[in-house]
Amino acid sequence: MADMVVPTFRRSFKYRIYPTKAQIKTFESWLELCRELYNAALEERREAWKKGVSINYYKQNPQLPAIKKERPEFGEVYSQVLQDVLGRLDGAFQDFFRRIKLGQTPGYPRFKSRDRYNSMTWPQNAGFWLIDTNKLHLGNLGKVRIKLHRALEGRPKTCTVKREAGKWYALFSCSDVPGRVYPPATGEIGIDMGLTTYATPTEGEKVENPRWYRKTEAKLAIAQRNLSRKKRGSKNYAEAKQRLAKLRAKEANQRLDFQHKLAHRTVCENQLIAVEDLKPEEMIEKSSKGLSKSISDAAWAQFLAILACKAEEAGRQFVKVPAWGTSSTCSSCGTVKQKTLSERVHSCPCGLVLDRDINASLNILRLGRSLRDEHREASKEESITHGDASC
C-alpha cells in the first residue's frame, strides 16, 4: 500500500526579535526610505494616469538604480526590499481594479504616513537566513537576535520585519509546511454567532462573548485623552502614543488567541462545521453606534476565516449557509416568526420552546447538511459525466 501523501500548506511564523539600539535606528531609517519610495511611486502613477499613461511595476522597477545614484542613502537598503515596496504598491492597485470589477467600494491606494508604514520584506531566502537558533541574518544589516519559541517549518520564502507597539518581529512566510495531524471526528455542528453569546453550537455549552474591546474601552479612552494633551513631536507625545499602541495590541492579541483556541477545539471535535455567511461590514453600517462597536469587537469575519483555514487543514467540511431566517424559522416545523433582538426564547405554535440561539444553530446545521449533500450529488454527476466522456 502506497504511503499517504501528507498535504502541505503556505503558513506564516511570527517571532520576536531584539535589535540593538543601532539596529533599531537603521530599521527606522529604512522604513522611512521605503515609505518615501512608496509615496513617490504612487504620486508618479497618479500623475501618469492624469496624462493617460499607464505605469506598472515593470516600468517603475528599472528606475531604482538611478534613484540610488541620485540618493545614495537608498543604496544602504537591501535591493530586494526596495523592489518589494514597488511590488506592494502594484498589489494595492491590482486589488483596487479587482474591487471595481466586482462592484465593491474601490478604495484607491492611499499615501502612507509614518504611522501607517511599519514593515519591510526581504523577498528571497538569499537575503536572509537563520544562524543557529538565536540569530537572524538580514541582507545589508547583519545579525539580529531572535527568539525561536517554536520550530520554523517548511521552506522560508520571505522574511518581513515589522514594528508593533514599540516591539519588533520577524514574520516568515513558508511554503511546503506539512499539515497538522488532527484526531478523527464524526460530529456535525451548526454555529450561531452572536453578541450576547459569542458562539452557540447545536450541541455543547454556549461560548460567552469575552468583549475584549469593551473591557479595554475605558483605558483606551484615558490613553487617548492623555495623547491629545501632549505636544505633537515631543518625547511625552511619543511615550503616550506608545502606551496607547500597547493597549490596542494587547486587546487584539487577546481576541486572536481566544479565536484560535475556539476554532481549534471546534475542528478537533467535528467533521461537518456549518456557519452563517455573515456580512459584518453591512451590519455595522445599518446598526446604531453602540451595536456597531459590539459587532466590531466580536470580529466574526476574522474568526470564521481562522475556522475555515483550520477546517481545510484538518480535512473537515466547512459550509457557509445563508444568514437570512435562521433565527426566525422554527427548527421543528419551519414556521417563520420575526423576533426582536430582546426576544431570547423561541416559542412556536407547534409546541417547540427553546433558546433562540440554539434554534438558530439547529437551522444552520440543517442547511449545512443540505448544502453538503447537494455538493456530493453534483460531484457524483460530474465524475459520471467525465467517466462517460473518457469511454
Q: Among 251, 269, 297, 357, which one carries the catalytic annotation?
A: 357
Q: Which helix (H) or strand (E) holds 131?
A: strand 128-131
Q: Among 84, 90, 192, 297, which one carries the catalytic annotation?
A: 192
**CA distance between the termini of the chain:** 28
User: Torsion angle, CA of 372/374/376/381, rounded to 10 degrees?
Assistant: -170
3: annotated active-site residue:
no
Q: Are strands 155-164 and 167-178 parallel, antiparallel or unpaired?
A: antiparallel
Cβ burial of 351 (10 Å; 0-12, 13-18, 19+) is exposed
Q: Among 84, 269, 276, 297, which one carries the catalytic annotation?
A: 276
User: Which of 168, 231, 171 lies closest to 31 in space, CA to CA?
Assistant: 168
* Residue bearing cell 519559541: 149
68 with 37: CB under 8 angstroms? no
* Residue bearing cell 492579541: 253
132: annotated active-site residue:
no
Query: How far is residue 369's CA from residue 207's CA, in Å, rounded to a whole number?
Result: 23
Residues near 368 by beta carbon (within 8 Å), at least 6 away in sequence: 188, 190, 272, 273, 274, 275, 319, 321
Residues near 40 by beta carbon (within 8 Å), at least 6 away in sequence: none
The catalytic site residues sit at 192, 276, 357
